[in-house]
Amino acid sequence: MGADNNIKAMKTQEEKAKLRGESRDFFCVASDAFRIFARRSSAVLGSAWAFGVAILIIVIWGLTGPAFHYSNTWQLIINTGTTIVTFLMVFLIQNTQNRDAKAAHLKLDEIIRALEGARNELIDLEKLADEDLTTLEKQFERVRKKAERNGNNPAGMRRADRTESASKGKGT
């Protein structure tokens, strides 16, 4: 069912891109085309079937070794192939990760914005400098410690106690 929704979403995105295609510049069209290609590629190449095909290619390559006397050319074929595939996959993976992270941030920003009492200055934290993030992290650490002192935490347990309790529950 999730795959059907993804396919419908991709088709909708394609239709929207076609409608906007005439009025947009080349860079936008190319960017949309790459986004659609990256989403489809990640869906296909991230599947169990793709992994199986990769294993099959390696097995076939290994079995052909004796026929080619394990020559340099035989080794070069797999090295070149894996290098090219790895190089291209880096861009596809990065594109999908960037989009997924952006979507998650936008969803969290919407939750922060919609919750009464939430601090709206927490929206767009990913755009803060590292020093600002460290300062905010220390501030939340102080809030957590204060909550522990005041007994405002699950079952009145300190963080270390919760961790210990959780690990005991797992049988370790």
Name the residue range of residue 171's domain: 128-172
Question: For residue 152, what pLDDT is reported?
Answer: 73
147-151 long-range contacts (CB < 8 A, ≥24 apart) are none
> Of 163 and 30, which is predicted with more confidence?
30
Return d(Cα 90, Cα 82) in angstroms, integer: 12
Furthest C-alpha separation in the chain:
74
Question: For residue 29, what pLDDT is reported?
Answer: 85
Tell me the per-residue pLDDT of 9-31, one tens digit each, with 9 for 90 and over: 666 766 766 665 556 688 888 88
Cα-based torsion angle of the residue sequence 134, 140, 142, 145 in order, rounded to the nearest 10 degrees: -130
Number of structural domains found in the chain? 2
Residues 86, 144: one domain? Answer: no
Residues 32, 108: one domain? Answer: yes
Tell me the per-residue pLDDT of 64-123, one tens digit each, with 9 for 90 and over: 999 999 999 999 999 999 999 999 999 999 988 998 888 898 898 889 888 888 888 888
Could you tell me the two tokens for 95? 């594109």
Residues 114, 165: one domain? Answer: no
Residues 115, 147: one domain? Answer: no
Tell me the per-residue pLDDT of 30-74, one tens digit each, with 9 for 90 and over: 888 888 888 888 889 889 999 999 999 999 999 999 999 999 999
On the 0-12 / 13-18 / 19+ scale of CB atoms within 10 A, 17 is middle
* Displacement of CA 149 from its chain's centroid (Å): 37
Residues 117, 153: one domain? Answer: no
Task: Look at the block and give the residue holding tokens 């952006």.
Answer: 102
Average pLDDT, the chain: 82
Question: Do residues 123 and 113 lie in contact, with contact meaning Cβ atoms separated by under 8 Å?
Answer: yes
Residues 82, 93: one domain? Answer: yes
Return d(Cα 10, Cα 13) in angstroms, integer: 5
> Would you tell me how many other CB atoms lie within 10 Å of the CB of residue 142?
10
Report how far apart, in Å, the C-alpha atoms of 147 and of each of 96, 140, 143, 165 are: 38, 10, 6, 19
